[in-house]
């Protein structure tokens, strides 16, 4: 997608960091943006700040690791904007220690937010993008840890999953008019 004005974008993890940067860039390009985040206060603050620039943004609180909450967020988005053209699966959490320090709760939380929310996002929003026939795009935030794993933790495993999913979907969804990209930001800890 090259023309963003008037398109609708749904961004998870949108109240801060990379997600807020992505949401801001889309809004400044003339897109209508639905910000989604689990942190209600941060979401309200982000919306308040963005609305000062006279952009068309709205927000929905959701724990994206819970499929039902992501379905409700999709319903809120289509109720507000009618269509969705771009999905940005950006929500993410760090987590999980190395071998010997693993816990079931840590693995479940990290995989739930980082990988399963991406899967659910694509499953829920993909058909919404397809149905209007105008094409669209799916962007999922992984990490350099999804390409180079230096540790045996849930975070790295989840990010490898996002990369693998995105690479496979790129070929599958292209004939349907949906582009797929994966964002793999680095870490300041990796810089020398």
Q: Give the span between the Cα atoms of 138 and 21, in whole angstroms.
A: 17
Triad 88, 92, 94: Cα angle to 5°: 160
**Active-site amino acid positions:** 155
Contact 113, 94 (CB under 8 A): no
DSSP three-state, residue 178: strand
Q: Give the span between the Cα atoms of 192 and 179, in whole angstroms.
A: 34
Listing DSSP states for 138-177 in one string gives EEEE--GGGTS--S-SHHHHHHHHHHHHHHHHHHHHGGGT
């Amino acid at each position: 997608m090259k023309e963003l004005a008037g398109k609708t974008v749904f961004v998870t993890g949108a109240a801060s960091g990379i997600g807020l940067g992505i949401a801001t860039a889309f809004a400044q390009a003339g897109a209508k943006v639905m910000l989604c985040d689990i942190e209600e206060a941060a979401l309200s603050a982000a919306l308040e700040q963005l609305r000062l620039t006279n952009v068309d943004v709205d927000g929905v609180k959701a724990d994206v690791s819970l499929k039902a909450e992501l379905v409700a967020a999709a319903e809120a988005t289509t109720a507000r904007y009618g269509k969705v053209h771009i999905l940005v699966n950006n929500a993410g959490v760090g987590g999980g220690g190395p071998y010997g320090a693993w816990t079931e709760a840590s693995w479940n939380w990290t995989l739930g937010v980082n990988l399963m929310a991406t899967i659910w996002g694509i499953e829920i929003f993909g058909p919404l993008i397809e149905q209007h026939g105008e094409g669209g795009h799916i962007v999922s935030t992984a990490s350099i840890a999804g390409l180079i794993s230096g540790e045996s933790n849930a975070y790295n495993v989840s990010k490898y999953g996002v990369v693998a999913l995105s690479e496979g979907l790129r070929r599958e969804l292209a004939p349907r008019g949906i582009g797929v990209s994966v964002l793999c930001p680095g870490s300041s800890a990796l810089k020398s």
